[in-house]
């Protein structure tokens, strides 16, 4: 998937939603190789929305996000870029977070205005390093919606099965976007696998200090366009944010996530 849009949706000048590039179709369906999930099972998963920019068909959803405090949501930095939004985020007057709604066609949950945005100033759109941003909500969510973040050295980062990625993005790799929340079980993979897959190209460069490699070696289960900023969870803790990759579910091209331990370091240092 090409830079700089990574796994968000792009917006045309007419505010119509368009899929990014034309990745090779995957054989699996839902998220990519996933399954439907109730929002009650992952209340910290939220949709980032702007009907003005992306239309009302799917409640304006264009990226995912994750609740890390009652008034704070993490998402991908590239989700707030001018290339995706068509304007700086402060000019998007209806930027909202949709919480407690698994089915985007329903009226469940809450739509909460974003009071402030902060984009990691160290975000590098060429390598995709540091791909995270903070949304401050105008109204707080319930404490039960908050997921803990895995800090540096947490065992949840250890390579192996058991991680789950959530989102409303492309379900086939061909522009078929979900209306209901999906999840996929993936493996946290060794950094060496993504370093080999992404040594530096138009797609980006894998930087182990700020990125996490996850998916399946043989392909088939992965995040895709529209899932950007959504959570990767292991052992009950947030370990990654959907960031970028080459295609969706391709063998030899795992998904790349923002490593949450780097987010913890940055936010702990006062941004």
Tell me phi and psi for residue 84, to 5 degrees.
-85, -50
Percent of the chain with pLDDT over 90: 79
Over residues 156-197, the pLDDT tens digits come to 999 999 999 999 998 877 788 989 999 999 999 999 999 999
Query: For the whole model, what pTM was predicted?
Result: 0.90
Over residues 75-132, the pLDDT tens digits come to 999 999 999 999 999 999 999 999 999 999 999 999 999 999 999 999 999 999 999 9
Average pLDDT, the chain: 89
Question: How far apart are the two ends of the chain, measured CA to CA in Å?
Answer: 29
The domains spanning 43-145 and 155-261 adopt the same CATH topology: yes
Catalytic residue, chosen from 49, 50, 228, 253, is 228
Q: Which pLDDT band holds residue 6 (cuts at 50, 70, 90)? A: low
Beta-bridged to residue 233, according to DSSP, are 164, 238
Tokens of 78: 């590239």
Residue 11 has pLDDT above 50, yes or no: no
**Known catalytic residue at 222:** no
Fold assignment, 43-145: Thrombin, subunit H (2.40.10)
Whether CATH 2.40.10.10 fits 155-261: yes
Measured CA to CA in angstroms, residue 131 lies from 79, 126, 134, 241 at distances of 9, 11, 11, 8
At 110 the pLDDT is: 98
**Known catalytic residue at 228:** yes
| Domain range summary for the chain, segments of one domain joined by + | 43-145, 155-261
Q: How far apart are CA 211 and CA 200, in angstroms?
A: 14
Largest pairwise CA distance in the chain: 46
Tokens of 66: 């994750």
DSSP for 60-125 reads TEEEEEEEEETTEEEE-GGGGSHHHHSS-GGG-TT-EEEES-SBTTS--SEEEEEEEEEE-TT--T
Q: Are 127 and 146 in contact (CB under 8 A)?
A: no
Residue 30 has pLDDT above 80, yes or no: no
**Known catalytic residue at 131:** yes
Catalytic residue, chosen from 49, 78, 81, 203, is 78
């Amino acid at each position: 998937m090409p830079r700089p849009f990574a796994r968000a949706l792009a917006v045309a000048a007419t505010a119509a939603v368009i899929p990014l590039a034309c990745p090779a179709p995957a054989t699996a369906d839902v998220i990519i190789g996933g399954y439907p999930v109730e929002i009650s099972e992952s209340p910290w998963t939220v949709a980032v929305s702007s009907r003005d920019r992306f239309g009302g068909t799917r409640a304006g959803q264009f990226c995912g996000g994750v609740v890390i405090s009652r008034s704070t949501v993490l998402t991908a930095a590239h989700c707030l870029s001018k290339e995706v939004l068509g304007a700086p985020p402060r000019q998007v007057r209806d930027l909202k977070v949709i919480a407690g709604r698994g089915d985007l066609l329903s009226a469940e949950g809450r739509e909460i205005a974003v009071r402030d945005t902060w984009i990691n100033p160290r975000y590098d759109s060429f390598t995709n390093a540091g791909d995270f941003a903070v949304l401050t909500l105008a109204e707080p969510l319930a404490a039960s919606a908050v997921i803990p973040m895995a800090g540096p050295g947490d065992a949840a980062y250890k390579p192996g099965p058991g991680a789950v990625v959530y989102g409303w993005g492309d379900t086939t790799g061909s522009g078929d976007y979900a209306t209901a929340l999906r999840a996929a079980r993936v493996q946290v993979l060794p950094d060496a696998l993504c370093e080999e897959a992404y040594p530096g190209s138009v797609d980006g460069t894998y930087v182990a200090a700020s990125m996490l490699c996850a998916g399946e070696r043989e392909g088939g289960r992965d995040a895709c366009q529209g899932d950007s900023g959504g959570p990767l969870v292991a052992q009950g803790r947030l370990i990654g944010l959907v960031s970028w990759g080459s295609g969706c579910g391709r063998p030899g091209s795992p998904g790349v996530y923002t490593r949450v331990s780097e987010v913890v370091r940055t936010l702990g240092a006062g941004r």
